[in-house]
Amino acid sequence: MRITRITLPLAAVAVAFLFTAAHAEGPAKGTPDWKSAGPIAFGPRGLLFLGDTQGAALFAVETGDVKPDSAGGELKVEAINEKIAAVLGTTADQIMINDLAVNPASGKAYLSVARGKGPTAAPVLVRVDHAGKVEVVSLDDVAFAKTALPNPPSAAQGPRSARVEAITDLAYIDGRVFVAGLSNEEFSSRLLAIPYPFTGSAGDDASIEIYHGAHGRLETKSPVRTFVGFEIAGEPYLLAAYTCTPLVKLPVAALKPGAHVKGETIAELGNRNKPLDMIVYQKDGKSFLLLANSSRGVMKISTDGVDHAKSINAPVRDGKHEGQPYETIASLQGVTQLDKLDKDHAVILLQNAQGQVNLETIALP
Amino acid sequence: MIAAVLWIATAGTSALPAQTAYAIRRELDPKSGRGAIVVVGIDAGNLAALAQSDWNAARFQTLFSMTVATPAAADSQTPSIAGKYQVVGDVLRFQTLFPLRPGLKHRVVFRPDRLPRPDPHAREVVEEFTLAATATPTSKTAVVEVYPTAARVPANLLKIYLHFSGPMSRGEAYRRVRLLEGSGRPLEKPFLEIAEELWDATGTRLTLLLDPGRIKRGLVPHAEEGPVLSAGRSYVLIVDAGWPDADGRPLRSEFRRKFDVGPVDETQPDPLAWKVAAPAAETREPLAITFPEPLDHALLVDAIAVLDPDGRPVAGRAVIDKSERGRRFLPDRPWTAGTYRVVVDTTLEDLAGNSIARPFEVDESRPVGAGNTPEFKTITVVVAPSRSR
């Protein structure tokens, strides 16, 4: 008995310690082996999530960039692609700017950049401040955590040799990082929901199959291109744009491991409107979605009544658009990336016909 | 430099820096572009001050900077190349974050008047240099195969795989691949364009998805534009020779593939309908499976495994037959008599994205039971004892 009395608390402590060590992988100092410049997204207090398609991994890096930028002035860099190329000792035609995210804690813009265009292109994190300074953010000896993204096993139980899941978007919502991906082999529609702090490798239990239904009773696995967190009647939702254009809402509460979740269509954007990026904002007491797309510039979509909006069930005819009303912001042509800066402003990357990319701050329309 | 030399002659042994013959030296491997640029001639007092300073990179750049000397940008506006500054022995060393790019003109400037103990009489030292580009820009990368290879594909074809002989560059895929109708008219945006581009890890295989929004019925793109391909017509896929490989060289030649389009395929592949030819024991004959329709080439490679009578994977290699209508498994060692199992991943798809588990589109009035489909299906193959025994 005496032994038991002593052992129990010790064992409990030991178990608790082991659990902590094995399951709650908070940031530790080191250099992340970030292999490719994928999408990026901020969490709270300067925590930055880095997607890595080539390495099939997700990193969480503490940037330490937690104080509001004192530089003043608006975020604006003309020919940012040329400036980044110069800093990296190369030319603008040999870099790719893959994503933009504003750090809500500091108001500085971060860019995920590939130096080079081949499969071994080096990933670089670039920061832009309000003085227009463009600098490389060193990832040497930073506090970070990593989680491997699952690759479904093949019949042979081994890894699939040439399978790559391109990360198309990621966002931190309520303690989980949502990762949308697109496989280069099977037509899948996996959305990963990975709790943070990471608990070892993200297993298949982080995987949720997203479907698109509605029209004419036909249901398809539909890969998500881009998404954003949005609150409807106090409940968290994802507003997601599928690669095949419909805009849907997905209740976060339903996004559970192994769940078969069907997005409810709230708008059909029509052909050639391939969604690239989107943000949510408030104006005059109403919520709007701002969506950059491949052809029509930027669309401002009303979310009025989206809480009780009926799913669009009838097939769309004669190219007529259905669902939430939207307007096209004609002055914003060539927007490739956007993120929210503050409640009234967004930061965008604009590419002109000559290939020059400008980083600009715009008032939310 | 003349001013500096004159100053030495007149100033003699004053308290100011005694040695002002500054020079920039390159310590670079000309092939890899790795290495550093150093400034020699900085006096010991300034070196000590620099070594102990808390200067950040921006502060160092006012003293000693390196830029890419592009003709387009005014030099004063060109940001300095990122790198690390360090006092090493009796030199100030600058190591760039990335290897220098051959063929680009670099400019290095050292400004002695920005030293911790400024040397106001010395002029700035400027050096420009270009690392010789070693590789000759001859083309050697080519398209080696395009899948599917079948002469006829379904009208709802979902994927095309381009295989290259070497790694390719990203960012131009959708400008470099065209689909032409029989009449020669190019189809407008036939592929789902995603900035990430669906490459494999080696950069030698690209997956093109024919716009699923136009394949899937009931959506605006389908209603407005119709499906990308029409049954009964023929098309030509063209890969532009100007597409740069990972080294920036164009392809060896343009690639063309003509194919015909048949009816829409909404039927799922069914392993029960496959023909399996059992090999003979004590031979290394292939275990040959023949499908009634072409299947997805990329998925076929890994989606099927052969397990021995003890349930262990049999070592060997798979060969995909012409038109992706069959798969032969060649064992490394002879078969032994017994019951083998062929395990098939139910994510295996046909050319229209119908998998063994699910059709591309599911009619909800006829549920296929999501979650009920097993991950794998199994076919039993009996290897009979050798007749010679």
Domain ranges of chain A: 34-138
What's the start-to-end Cα distance of chain B, in Å?
95
Using DSSP's 3-state secondary structure scheme, residue B23 falls into strand
The alpha-carbon gap from A78 to the nearest alpha carbon of chain B, in Å, equals 11
- Least Cα distance to B210 among A227, A187, A191 occurs for A187
Q: Number of C-alpha atoms within 13 angstroms, CB side, residue B74?
A: 2
Helix/strand/coil for A2: helix
B64 closest CA partner among B45, B86, B44 = B86
Of B96-105, B208-217, B227-236, which range is least confident?
A: B208-217
Give the C-alpha separation, A219 to B218, whole Å: 10
Residue A218 confidence (pLDDT): 63
A139: nearest CA in chain B? B97
Question: Is 70 exceeded by the pLDDT of residue B378?
Answer: yes
B311 touching A (Cβ < 8 Å) = no
Which residues in A342-352 are b (16+ Cβ under 10 Å) and which e?
Answer: eeebbbbbbbe
Instruction: Please indicate whether, in this complex, the C-beta atoms of A243 and B193 are within 8 angstroms of each other.
Output: no
- What are the CA-CA distances from residue A228 to residues A141, A240, A249, A294, A313 (Å)? 31, 7, 10, 18, 23
Q: Chain B interface, mutation test: which of A40, A88, A185, A190, most B Cβ atoms within 10 Å? A: A185
- Who has greater pLDDT, B366 or A144? A144
Q: Which residue has the higher pLDDT, B292 or B363?
A: B292
Facing residue for B223 by CB, picked from A135, A222, A317: A317
In this prediction, residue A2 carries a pLDDT of 32
pLDDT above 60 for B162:
yes
Among A115-129, A265-279, A281-295, the range of highest mean pLDDT = A115-129
B158–A243 C-beta distance less than 8 A: no
Cα atoms found within 13 Å of the Cα of residue B159, Cβ hemisphere only: 27
Cβ pair A155:B246 closer than 8 A: no
Residue A242 structure tokens: 């599928």
pTM, two decimals, is: 0.89
Mutate which: B216, B306, B366, B376, vs A, most A CBs within 10 A? B216
pLDDT band at B139, cuts 50/70/90? confident
CB burial string B208-245: b at 16+ within 10 A, e below: bbbbbbbbbbbbbbbbbbebbbeeeeebebbbeeebbb
Which residues in B lie closer than 8 A to residue A218 (C-beta atoms)? 216-218, 361-364
Q: Going by C-beta distance under 8 Å and a sequence separation of 6 or more, which residues neighbour residue A283?
A: A364, A365
Residues A131, A118: contact at Cβ < 8 Å?
no
Of B96, B355, B362, the CB nearest to A89: B96
Query: Residue A17 — φ and ψ, nearest 5°?
Result: -65, -45
Exposed / middle / buried, residue B6 (Cβ in 10 Å: 0-12, 13-18, 19+): exposed
Residue of A120, A168, A243 lying closest to B212 (CB–CB): A243
Residue A337 CA from chain centroid, whole number: 12
What ipTM describes this predicted complex?
0.88
Cβ contact, residue pair A316, B220, below 8 Å: yes
Q: How confident is the model at residue B82 (pLDDT cuts 50, 70, 90)?
A: very high
Residues from chain B contacting residue A82 (CB–CB below 8 Å): 70, 72-73
* pLDDT > 50? residue A9: no
Q: Are the Cβ atoms of B194 and A244 closer than 8 angstroms?
A: no
Residue B370 has what pLDDT?
Answer: 47
Query: Sign of the C-alpha dihedral, residues A188, A191, A194, A195?
Result: negative
Q: Does B244 touch chain A (CB under 8 A)?
A: yes
* Count of residues making up chain A: 365
Q: Looking at domain B2-130, which CATH architecture does it have?
A: Sandwich (2.60)
Structure tokens at A236: 């968290």
Inter-residue contact A180 to A281 (CB < 8 Å):
no
Contact between B364 and B373 (Cβ < 8 Å) = no
- Residues B86-117 pLDDT 10s: 999 999 999 999 999 988 999 999 999 999 99
Q: How far is A313 from A294, CA to CA, in rounded Å?
A: 26
* CA-based nearest residue to A82, from A347, A338, A352, A358: A358
Residue range B271-383 in CATH 2.60.40.1220: yes
**Does the pLDDT value for residue B224 go beyond 80?**
no
Residue type, A248: V
Judged against a pLDDT cut of 90, whether residue B381 lies above it is answered with yes
- Of A90-99, B31-40, B239-248, the range with the lowest mean pLDDT is B31-40
pLDDT tens digit string along A198-237? Answer: 987 666 556 676 666 545 556 677 778 889 999 888 889 9
pLDDT digits (tens, 9 = 90+) for B274-287: 999 999 999 999 99
Percent of chain B exceeding pLDDT 90 equals 71
Could you tell me where the beta strands, DSSP code E, fall in A233-333?
Answer: 235-242, 247-251, 260-267, 275-283, 286-293, 297-302, 326-329
- Per-domain boundaries in chain B: 2-130, 143-262, 271-383
Match 């076929």 to its residue by tokens. B300
**Residue B195 and residue A121: Cβ atoms within 8 Å?**
no
Q: Assess contact for A179 and A191: CB atoms under 8 A.
A: yes
| Test the B interface: residue of A82, A184, A207 with most B CBs within 10 Å | A184
Do the chains contact at B305 and A90, CB–CB below 8 Å? Answer: no
- Does B224 sit within 8 Å of A221, measured CB to CB? no
- Interchain contact, A87 vs B82, CB within 8 Å: yes
Q: For residue B59, what are the CA distances in angstroms to A66, A185, B53, B141?
A: 23, 49, 10, 45
From A162, A175, A218, A167, select the one nearest A191 (Cα to Cα): A167
Is residue A23 scored above 50 in pLDDT? no
Rounded distance between C-alpha atoms, residue A251 and residue B225, angstroms: 32
Task: Name which CATH class applies to B143-262.
Answer: mainly beta
Which of A79, A87, A269 minimises the CB distance to B81?
A: A87
Structure token pair of residue A322: 């259905």
Q: What are phi and psi of A5, to 5 degrees?
A: -60, -40
Q: Whole-number mean pLDDT of chain B? A: 88
pLDDT at A210: 64
The maximal CA–CA distance of chain A, rounded, in angstroms, is 82
Is pLDDT larger for residue B34 or for residue A345? A345
Contact at CB, A154 and B303, closer than 8 angstroms: yes
Q: Read off the DSSP letter of residue A294.
A: T
Contacts of A79 in chain B (CB under 8 A): 73
**Could you say which residues from 276 to 295 on chain B have a Cβ atom under 8 Å away from some Cβ of chain A?**
none
Give the pLDDT band (50/70/90) at residue B39: very high
Q: Exposed, middle or buried, A285 (CB in 10 Å: 0-12/13-18/19+)?
A: exposed
**CB of B180 within 8 Å of any CB in chain A?**
no
Test B298 with A167 for CB contact under 8 angstroms: no
Q: SS3 breakdown of chain B: % helix, strand, coil, rounded to 5?
A: 15, 35, 50
Exposed, middle or buried: residue A305 (CB in 10 Å: 0-12, 13-18, 19+)? exposed
The reported pLDDT for the residue numbered B132 is: 85
Tell me whether residues B305 and A272 touch, CB distance under 8 A.
Answer: no
pLDDT for the residue numbered A223 = 77
Tell me: the pLDDT tens digits for B232-273? 999 999 999 999 999 899 999 999 999 999 999 999 999 999
- Put simply, whether B192 touches A (Cβ < 8 Å) is yes
Mean residue pLDDT of chain A comes to: 82
> Is A162 within 8 Å of B100 when comparing Cβ atoms?
no
Is residue B40 scored above 90 in pLDDT? yes
Are B143-262 and B271-383 in the same CATH fold? Answer: yes
Report the pLDDT value the prediction gives residue B182, as an integer from 0 to 100: 87
- Look at B186 and A187; give whichever has higher pLDDT: B186
Q: Any idea what DSSP says for residue B226?
A: -
ω into residue B148 within 30 of 0, thus cis? yes
Query: Is there a contact between A117 and B299 if contact means CB atoms under 8 Å apart?
Result: no
Cβ-defined contact of A118 to B370 (cutoff 8 Å): no
Nearest CA in chain B to A35: B201
pLDDT value for B7: 34
